[in-house]
Every structure is written in C-alpha cells, then in structure tokens.
Chain A
Amino acid sequence: MSDKLFDQFKTWYEKRHDYARDWKARTGGQVVATMCTYSPEELLIAADMLPVRVLGAHEPQNVSEPHIFGMFCPFCRDSLAQGLLNRFDYAEGVTLTQSCIQYRQTFGSWRLHVPTVKWDYYCPMPNELQSQRARKAHTAEIQRFREFLEQLTGKPLSDEKLNDAIATVNENRRLLREIYEYRKEANPKVTGLEAIYAALTAQFIDKKEHNAELKKVLAALPARKMAREEGIRLMTIGSENDDCSFMAMVETVGATIVIDDQCSGTRYFWNESKPSGDPIKEIAERYCDRPACPTKDYPTHTRFDHVLNLAKEYKAQAAVFLQQKFCDPHEGDYPDLKRHLEAAGIPTLFLEFDITNPIGPFRIRIEAFLETMREDDLF
C-alpha cells in the first residue's frame, strides 16, 4: 500500500538485529534469544530484558549440519545457523520452553556452540496439557524460572513488576487482535503481509514501543482505503512462517491472506492471561490455555475446531498448509485437519517449506489452486 501505514513494522522486521543492538545501547538491558512462542516473555520483560525471538534468514547456510541433523525442520536449522553465524551476538541469554524435540536440540546446540551466550535457561513444560496436573506443574516451572532470573540479576522479581509486564504483554495481544479484526471485512484494510509484519515484530520489539506503533496504525485504519483487489480469501496453517516474500507473492496473484493458525501469527498472541491475583499462575495458565501447537494437543485435537472456527469467522474460502519440511507434529495433524476443513467446504493446498523456498514453482501451485476456485468463465 502506498500509505506506508505498516512500514515501521517492515523496517523493524528487516533491521531486527540493528534494533536489538540499539535497544541494548539505549537501555543497558540484557537481550534474550527466545525459542518457541511458549517462552514466558512476561518474566523476561519484568526483569528488564528484551526477549527476541530467533527467526531464520532464509539464506543457504552450511553451519548447522555438524550440530543437528539435516532432517531437522528448516526453521530449526535456519534458527541455529543464525546463532552460529553470530547474528545474535548481542544476546546474553537464550531460553527455550519445551515444545518439540527438534527445537530442544537446536536450543542445546545454541547453548553449547554459540560463543556469545552467557547464560541459558531451559523451561520444562508439559506436552500433555490436557492432563489435570499440567497447569499446576507449569505454574511451578514458571516460578522456578522466576527464581532463576532473580538469582541471575541479583534483583527480586516482584509481583508488581510481573503485573506490569503482564499488563504490557496483554495490551500487545489485545492490540494485535484489534488489527486482525480488520481482516474480517470484505477487501480487508490489513493485508496478510502487513499482518505478519505486525505479529512477527511483536516477538522481538520492545512491547511498549510496539504497542505505541499498533495504536498509531489502529487510529489510521478506519479511514484507510484499499485500492487492491481482494481475490480469494485464504487462511495459512502451519508452524512458523516468516517468509514475507512468499506472503507478498500470494497477495499479488489474486488472493488475500485473511487469517492464520501459525506460531508466527495468531498462536503467539491470541489469548490474554486472566487476572487471578497471582501473577505466576496467570502467566503459566495463559500459556497452557493458548491455541495449541500440535505438540501439546492430545489426546483431544482441540486445534481442529479452533482452526475451522477461525476460517469461518474470517470468511476464508480456502486454506494453505505451509508445512515446514520434517516438522513431524504438524505433518501428523495434516491428514485429519485437511479432512476436517474440506468436510466443511474449505479446500486446501499443501506446500512444503524449506530454508529457501522456490517462489516460481510455489506461484504456479498457488495460482493453479486459485484457478480451481474461480475462472468459471473459462468453461
């Protein structure tokens, strides 16, 4: 769009390492590389740290293979490569909350082989979140993480600080959902590419600055006029996706991405924590209650109906699975989730993502998929 409304998010995304270095210089705070969106950012923010989610660079690399297998998902390999290539040399800490085993080993390799790491913290989290004991167990783990940070910084992490951090992060979640609300409209005022810039940058920009920018955008959105064609309304489904050039391509061939179920998007910010008077419990339960990653979605598949409801609510006409190659949890869900959506009249397309993606061949697949839903004039 020519109004440049989302340009700050795009700039932050493209210059995220510069931003983190600048933040560190101006605040004197520590930067923490976070892996997986189950990482409780509230604790780090309360400790005056900047959580920066590790994202890949979508460039060919040859540094991760001595440490993790080539059949680990491309996002893990790309993420580890960023550490090994010293792109996160400003991050003192690295933390992971348990989700999948490939991420766990990526974290292990980062901790051992990225020379600038000063401290690391692995936060266990039950994968069987539907167990009656899960919430209690995770609350205890969040408390343990709090104690670790207190010991690390030599400062108490008071309830007051935690409550402030919860309020800031909740506001960020709420504002992002307000941005996403605009995607429900016909010819939405927010494109999929713009939405992904806003959601991704929330994962590494100081939340207060990010909130201020979101408010600015929200104030301008009601008057925004969209000059583009809407085309077919699509949903994207998968683990992580920050391939902005892919998103941009899809939205130039007659489609608008209106919603996602991805950890780079809605799963990161969809729910807020609920007030209970105990900030540790609030934080822990918020992560237990968030839209589930397939690693934490058994024995009942709660995400199938969640995904279908999102598709309906945002009037998605079709869904594209952006499957990170070798991501077993998502690939395991795929056949049933595909059937679930198609039974509800939502056709699907499966694309396998790698560290680098072939835009030309993907474009053919997307265009051909869109042609199956339109072009009745041709017959």
Chain B
Amino acid sequence: MSEQSNGANKPEFWRWQENVWADESRDWRAAKAITVGIDVGSVSSQCVIVADGELYAYNSMRTGNNSPDSAKNAFKGVTEKTGLTLNDVHMVVGTGYGRVNVPFSHKAITEIACHARGANYMGGNGVRTILDMGGQDCKAIHCDEKGKVTNFLMNDKCAAGTGRGMEVISDLMQIPIAELGPRSFDVDVEPEAVSSVCVVFAKSEALGLLKAGYTKNKVIAAYCQAMAERVVSLLERIGVEEGFFITGGIAKNPGVVKRIEKLLGIQAMNTKIDSQIAGALGAALFANTLVTKQGALAPIAF
C-alpha cells in the first residue's frame, strides 16, 4: 500500500504501485532508433521507451486531471531514470483516451491497435485474442500474427467491471488493491457473483453482504467473480481463439484472471513484462516501425 494519504491521513487502499523501470544491462546511447509510446488512459498513464525495437524503459503512473501534464510527467519519469531527453528520441506515438492530448507526439494511434501490438511483443506471434482490462473500459481484441487488429469489441458506456470499480471495492473493504486477488481465494466456499458490477450498485451490495455475515474475502471473491463473468460475456461475443493474452491493470489481479480462465477453460499466456504498459509499448513499437520505414522526425518540444 502506498504511503500517500489524503488530508485526513486516511490510507488510500486503492492506490496501486507506480513503477519506473529501465533495462540496466543496455545503454540507450548505443541504439540507432529510440522511440517513445505514451498511453494516457483514464486511470493510469505510461511512457515506454523502445531502443532498436526492444523494450528499454518505462514509467507507469496515475493519470492526473490534465492529459498533457500526465503525458509529460510519464515521460519525465523515464528521463530521470535513464538520462535521455526528447532530443534523443526519433519518434513519439500517443495512445489511450488522451492520445490526441500528448503535446510532443508525432502521431496518435488507438489503444486497441496499440494493445494488440504490445501483446504481440509480450506474448509472441501466437497471440490471437487480447483482453484489455483498463481503468474505465474493457476491450476484447482479435489480431493476426503481426499483432494487427482483425476485430474488436468494447464494453458499453458504463465503467462497470473495470479497474476503477476494483479501486472502489479496495477502498470500501480497506484492503490494499494488490492484496485483493490473493485474498479472494482465501474463502471457505466460493460465493455467487454479486449481481451487479455497476460500481455504485456493487458497493451497496457489498455492504449488504458484509452485514449479512460475509467475510471481506468472500465479498471480494464475489466481486472478482462478477467482474470475470462480465468480461467473459464480452469475450464470448467476439469469440476466444487460442493464444489468449490479458493486458491492462486488472491482469495483475489473479482473483479476476483465474476466474476468467476457469470460465473460459483457457489459460492466459504468461509474460514477465508489466501488463499495464502494453498500450504504450505497442505505441513505441509502431513508432519504431515508422522510423525504420520513413525515417526519424524532429522532436516536438513541450
């Protein structure tokens, strides 16, 4: 759980771990092409640096109240870690719901295309079905062996059953968000799913279950099951092909992932890379391909 707290010193159980990473076995100065992908999502923002077509560094942080600032801050986090500057970058691609508000990007590409490309890198060219479980939406994507999208479906207007819903449950249960998944398995009997994944209704229902004598773990299990059922219904509409890969923040929650796998009867593919950076990684990889084919572009200062 984060040390951060609000004015009343109330712990923020929902706050997930922000993360800056760089591949210290390599030196970006030796790379011929350095490209950047910026994914400004509704809840989290990522900056990924790709050096010569391989993941080199990333920063994953919470999206603030301003998309351009979130993009800049995500980039600054990596520059502080690696020492590279915008002048060292050959192309920047923006993605995510704030993709058109990345002040230093040369091109915007949808997160649907970028997640597919990122998943293709993380899981290899056998990836065919991608489930992106993001902060406020959820996407089921089919792609080919190159990571090009062939079909996709998104959830409806409401954010039910997405990352933000899990944050709300975390706060309500007063359990750090990273512990929700493991604790959801620590139950005597697997409960029925809560009947609604609507953030508002699920909150009321969770309180009702606590009153009715459910343990916190059992309530969490019921919510994880509801979330899994919801995304599986989305996946079933598009069809799940072998080579199933999950991206986005919820991919880190085994309580949801294992239940999805059980419902589908398919194991999700494994990766050692942080699933939350898939969109930004895809954007940076697209930038790398564009640099290879069309040449570098001058940086756009911010």
Contacts and interface: CB of A to CB of B under 8 A. Distances in A.
Interface of A: 352, 354, 358, 360-361, 364-365, 367-369, 371-372, 375, 377-379
Contacts of A364: 97, 110-112, 154
A151 to B, nearest CB: 48
A124 to B, nearest CB: 36
Interface string B147-171: 1111110101100000000000000
Interface string B267-295: 00000000000000000001001100110
Contact of B154 (A354, A365, A371, A375): A365
Contacts of A379: 146-148, 289
Given A368-B152, A371-B112, A372-B148, 10 more contacts: A360-B97, A361-B137, A361-B154, A364-B97, A364-B110, A365-B154, A368-B112, A371-B110, A377-B294, A379-B148
B154 A378 contact: no
Query: Which applies to chain A's interface (DSSP): helix, strand, loop or mixed?
Result: helix
Nearest to B111: A364
A378 B156 CA distance: 28
Nearest to A367: B110
B156 A371 contact: no
Interface residues of B, number: 23
B113 A378 contact: yes
B169 to A, nearest CB: 23
A375 B289 contact: no
A369 to B, nearest CB: 8
Contacts of B147: 379
Of A365, A368, A369, which is in contact with the most chain B CB atoms at under 10 Å from its CB? A368
A216 to B, nearest CB: 37
A360 B159 CA distance: 14
Nearest to B237: A350
B156 A352 contact: yes
B293 A375 contact: no
B109 interface: yes
A377 B148 contact: no
Contacts of A365: 152, 154
Nearest to B285: A378
B235 to A, nearest CB: 16
Specify which of A360, A365, A372 lies most central, judged by the most chain B CB atoms within 10 Å of its CB: A372
A377 B154 CA distance: 25
Contacts of A354: 157
A371 B150 CA distance: 10
Interface in B39-97: 97
A368 B150 CA distance: 10
B290 A368 contact: no
Contacts of A352: 156
B137 A378 contact: no
